[in-house]
Amino acid sequence: MIVRPSQHWFRRLFGWHGSVLPKIGFRLSLNLAMSIIAIVCFQWYESLGVHLTTAPFSLLGVALAIFLGFRNNASYARFTEARTLWGSMLITHRSLLRQIKSVPLTAETARECAALQMAFSYSLKHQLRNSDARDDLRRLLPSRWHDEISRSPAPASRVLLCMGKWLGELRQQGKIADILWQSMDENVNRLSQVLGGCERIASTPIPFAYSLILHRTVSLFCTLLPFALVTDLHGMTPLVSMFISYTFLALESVSEELEDPFGVEANDLPLNAICIAIERSLREMNDDFPLPPPQQPDRRRILT
């Protein structure tokens, strides 16, 4: 995620980091090449009686704008839902630990609960990014739970199972009342809903056929556009053609990037920073100092 202070409008025109220009630069250069070819060959293909006007491109451009808008709305809705799920997870973690600390339990018991909660957050992050969670599990989990969770092919789900077992043990020992156990179990269920929601977003992309036809149409539109503009614009064709193509190509690229909000692209969710924020919050509630430092943006103002 880009974390950048407010900039002057003129400086923002030349912003590079976080934009999609690096991704579409080659496709824009192809459009420039086609514009030059259209200028060079203009007299030749006009002598053949070929008259390509802007009328069909105007109609197609309106249709593309509508479908690109729908695609961007769908991708941004996925991004927003993912951020909402991770935000609700932080709230649920705080509520669950607050409930644990509201009953006369030992500090070690509260730390065990916090360790399982932090392990859930990091396990979910690694699951969504297809990375290895073993180092974080080794660092966070008590030895009692480490082997069972680290051996599981779905550690995030296993952590929730262990949390349920742990709460059940406290209930059987009479350390928490049935009403309080029911409220705590409801918070564990909310974490399970967060897990299921994130898995649904990660495993259900926007239908491929829809993305494919949009990609092909945008590419064909940008390729043929210079030949329709050159009749009226002549030498100005490359400038106008690249500007129009940039709009369509950039919108398509942004929608593809936001479609998977759990990755490590510049505009994806900063799951590392969110996990560290959760860890800091839970450790602070337990007076478990020193706290890990919050993650800072890198030199490109990107949080991962």
Q: Which residues pair with 302 in a beta bridge?
A: 2
Do 101 and 282 touch, CB atoms closer than 8 A? no
Q: Check residues 266 and 34 and name the one with the higher pLDDT.
A: 34
pTM (two decimals): 0.88
Secondary structure class of 221 (helix, strand, coil): helix
Indicate if the pLDDT at residue 17 is higher than 80.
no
Rounded to 5 degrees, φ, ψ at 226 are: -60, -35
Do 16 and 301 touch, CB atoms closer than 8 A? no
Per residue in 174-193, pLDDT (tens digit) is 888 889 999 999 999 999 99
Q: Check residues 18 and 172 and name the one with the higher pLDDT.
A: 172
For the chain, what are the domain ranges?
Answer: 88-205+269-291
Nearest Cα to 276, choosing from 109, 144, 90, 72? 90
| Token duo for residue 69 | 């808008």
DSSP assignments along 43-103, one per residue: HHHHHTT----SHHHHHHHHHHHHHHHHHHHHHHHHHHHHHHHHHHHHHHHHHHHHHHHTS
Do 278 and 118 touch, CB atoms closer than 8 A? yes
Confidence band for 249, pLDDT divided at 50, 70 and 90: very high
182-195: buried (b, 16+ CB within 10 Å) or exposed (e) per residue? eebbebbebbbebb
Percent of the chain scoring above 90 in pLDDT: 48
Confidence band for 5, pLDDT divided at 50, 70 and 90: low
